[in-house]
Amino acid sequence: MADLGLLADEDLMQLVREGDSSAFEVVYERHATAAYSLAYRMTGRRGLAEDVVQEAFLSLWRSGARYDRARGSVRTWVLGIVHNRAIDGLRRSMVHDKRRASDEGIEERFESGERTDVEAVRRREAAEVRHALSSLPPEQCRAIELAYFGGFSHAEIATMLDMPIGTVKGRIRLGLEKLRGALGELVESPA
């Protein structure tokens, strides 16, 4: 295991692909803290964040062959899996909460967001932002998502994406400029 600790993540993933559990353990040790941090920031609940990380790393173990070093670092790939699992976990949690509320006969106490004009406008704006984000280059989109949706600092993002902090700041700045152009008044900075 000590020798495995000297290997780059990409080399470890090759061993994981071949079923090496010790290599998987090193990958886990290197990235579990960042994975948990992202999951917790997205879900806001420790138990759900722990479940998300467990599901993400189980998925990584099972699908290690899907990692492609040409598409980015192992950390970026791991955090992408965590991001997707966190969204899935939040959706499952919402369905569970609604079902439980319905079973208890208290669903009438929840305000129906779908019925309000404010909610309709918010959803339309969210769809516009998602569309504008999807038009950005992937590296700018990822940096913006981590900063604004993940709540990570520039330094944390630089560590997660394994790049200089100046590059992270530049990608966020360029991405935000493109978003401002695409969205107009939706992203105007407060005075």
Residue partners of 107: CB distance under 8 A and separation at least 6: 98, 101
Q: What is the pLDDT of residues 46-86, one digit of tens each?
A: 999 999 999 999 988 887 657 887 778 889 889 988 998 88
pLDDT score recorded for residue 25: 93
Domain ranges across the chain: 1-106, 115-183
CATH architecture classification, 115-183: Orthogonal Bundle (1.10)
Place of tokens 């006969």: 105
Six-digit token string for 74 = 């192992």
Average pLDDT score, the chain: 81
Please state, for a pLDDT cut of 90, what percent of the chain lies above it: 21
C-alpha dist (Å) from residue 155 to 29, 47, 90, 103, 163: 20, 26, 27, 45, 10
Read off the pLDDT band of 97 (50, 70, 90).
Answer: low
The answer to whether residues 128 and 81 touch, using CB atoms and an 8 Å cutoff, is no
The answer to whether residues 133 and 145 touch, using CB atoms and an 8 Å cutoff, is yes
Read off the pLDDT band of 174 (50, 70, 90).
Answer: very high
**Average pLDDT of the segment spanning 41-49:** 88
CB neighbours of residue 64 within 10 Å: 20
CATH of 1-106, one of 3.20.20.370, 1.10.1740.10, 3.90.650.10, 1.10.150.120: 1.10.1740.10
pLDDT score recorded for residue 26: 93
Whether the per-residue pLDDT at 186 is higher than 90: the answer is: no
